[in-house]
Structure 1
Amino acid sequence: MAVGNKQLHEIESVFDSYHISPHYRQFGSVFLAPSRKPLFVLKPLKVGTVRAYLTGELLSQQERCPIIPHIVKTATGAYYRWQHGNRYLVTEKIPGRVADYHSDKDFKAAIIAMSSFHRFAGQVLQSNPKRWAILQFCPKSQWPKRIKEMEICRERAIRFQDDPFSRKYLKMWHCFYELAFRVLQTLPCESLSAAPTICYHDWAFHNVLIKNGQAHLIDFDDMIVDHSIHDRVNLISRYLRLHQWATSALLKALWNFDRYYQWQKGELKLLGLYLSFPYEYWMLGRQYYIEKQPWSRSFYQDQWQRKIGFFEERLKILDLIESME
C-alpha cells in the first residue's frame, strides 16, 4: 500500500500520541514500532465509527480469548485514535508466521481457533445483542441483493463482449445464477435454530497467524454476526479451492471439523446451502463491473482460475454433502 507524505506525518503523530517512538516500518497495510517490546502494530482502519468501536470492544476482552490481539488504548481510554478524519487502532503484535492451509497442522489449528473464538464471541454477543445487531448478516435479505448485482454485471458484460473476461463471465453466468437462485428458493425453509455468534468472516491465510502450533486471529474489519456455519464455510471453501474441489479434500475437512469443532444436527444441510451460493463469482464480477477495481488482466485471470474454476467438481461436492444429511 503506497503511503503519501501527508499520511506518513499523520502516522508519526498517532504513534507520538501513544508515547511510542515514531521510528517505524511499514508492513503491508500496517505499521510496526520495532523499538518497543512487545512490538506495537498501528493499523489504519477502513471501517466506520460503529465497527471501529465494536472491534475495540471485542479486543479489550483479550484476556478471555488469548488468540486475539491485545488492544492498546489511547491516553483518554478510547479504543482507537481519531486523526484528521481517519481512525487508527494500536495492538500488541502477535509473533508468528502466516498460516498455510496446505499443512494439515495449520488447518487443524484454524478449526480449533474458530471453535474457541465462537465460544468467546457468542458470550460477548449474548451480553449485549442490541449493540451487535448492526453487524447481523441475513442471507434471506443479502443474497437477493447479490443476485441482483449478478444481473447488473451480466448486462455490463454483454456490452463488453470483446473483453476476454466478459466472455468468460458470460459463459458461466447461467450456471452460477441457477445455483444462487436455487439456494434462495431453499433457504426460507431452513431454520437457523442455533444461537448466532460473531463470525471472523475472512479466514484467508494472511489473516491467521500460527504461533507455537496455535492459530491467532489478527484482522477484524469484516466480522459479522451470523450462524457459525458462515465461518465454517469460509474456511472449508478456501481449503477446497486449494485442492481443486477434490472429494478427498471435503472428506478430510469434514472429519477435522467433526473432531475439533463438532457438527450439530442440521448443520451439514446449512453447509451445503451456504457453500452453494456463488460468493466468489458474485464478488469477482462485482469487483470488475461495479467497483471497477484497476487490477491487471493477469490478476483477474489468476483470481478466476483460483476462485471460479472447477465448476463440475464443485457440483459433485454439493451433491455429496446433500447425500450426507
Structure 2
Amino acid sequence: MTHLQDILDIHFEPAGGTKYWLEQQERLHIDARHTITSIEDLSLFGLMDVEALRSRPLLDFVPRRYHDQLQQMILSETGGTSGSPCRRIYSEEDFNNGFVKPWLTAVERHHFPRGGRWLFVGPSGPHIIDRSARTMARSLGSLEPFTLDCDVRWIKRQAKGSIGYTLYLDHVLSQAMNIIQTQEIDTLFTTPPLLLLMGEHMSSEQRQAIRGIHTGGMAMDENSWHHVTRLFPEAVVLPGYGNSLFGVCFPLSPDQPDVFESGDGKRLIIELVPWTGQGQDGFVPTARAKADERGRVFCHILDPTFLLINMLERETAVATPLPNGTTGLTDIRPIALPSIKQEGVY
C-alpha cells in the first residue's frame, strides 16, 4: 500500500479519523479512501482553506486516534506573516522526517562542519524553528545553540526605518554580539537579513572563525549570497527553504546552492503551479509550471498526525529540472499580497 493510501486511511477513517477532513469528504459526497488513488486526485478537494486552519480548534485537524497521545506531540505555529498564525502538531517521527532527516542528508552532501559552537538568532516560543535548531546542533555532536529572544511577530508590526524597528534590531544585535564576543562561536543559524547585520558588526577575526552557516526563514537572493560568502570566507553556507507546517528542504548540490529540492516525494510534495499574479483567479490545481517557468509554490503535507491538501504557499519560484529526475525550486521570492505588510527579518 502506498504512503498516500496509508495517510488517507488514517485521516478518513470514520471513527478514528480527522474531524475537518471527514467534513470535507461529506461535503463532496465521496469516500476519499477509495476515490483518491493518486496525488492528482487530491485536486477534488480544491484549495486548502487557510482561514479554517487559522480559526478552527487545532484538534479538528488531528486524527482522533491520536487524541490520547497529545502529551507526546510537538506543537508548532507559523509566524503570521500573511495573517493570523496557523497551527499544527508533529509526532516525534513526523518532526524527524520533516526537519532532522533532511538536515542530516544535506550536512553530508554539503560537508557542513560537525561539533561546532552554535548561535541561533531566531524565534522561540510557539515557532518550531527553535526546537529544530537545538536538534540540528545536537545531531552534529554539538551543545545546543546559544540563543536569544527574537519576537518575529513584533518586528512585523514596526514600519521599516521607524524608531520601534531600529530599537528592536539594536536589541537583537546587542544580545547576539555579546554571545559572539564571549563564546567562540563558529556556527551560525539565522535569517539572511540578521546574518548580514551581524556580519557587519563582527570583526574580521570573528567572521573568519565561522565554519558553518545555516540560513532559514526567508530566501537568500543572489546579492545577499555573494555578500555572505564575502563576509564569511571560511564558512560552508547551507540555506534552507521551509516553514512551520511542512519542515525544511535543502539544495540538492553544493554547486547549485540556490536550487532546492521539492520535498521528499512521500510525506512532502512541493510543486509549482501557474499563477496569474493576484489572489486565486485563474488557479488550476492540476496544472504545473514548465521547466524554467515561474509558478506559485503548492504543496501537500501527508503526515499521520496532520494532513494538508492543496496548500498554496506565499512564495513563487522557478521550476528547475534536477539530475535525479525531479523538479527543483530556484529564485524563491515572496508574493506581494495585500495581507502581507512586510516579511520583517524572518
Tell me the TM-score normalized by structure 2. Answer: 0.28
Point out the structure with the larger strand share: 2
Tell me the TM-score normalized by structure 1. Answer: 0.29
Point out the structure with the larger helix share: 1
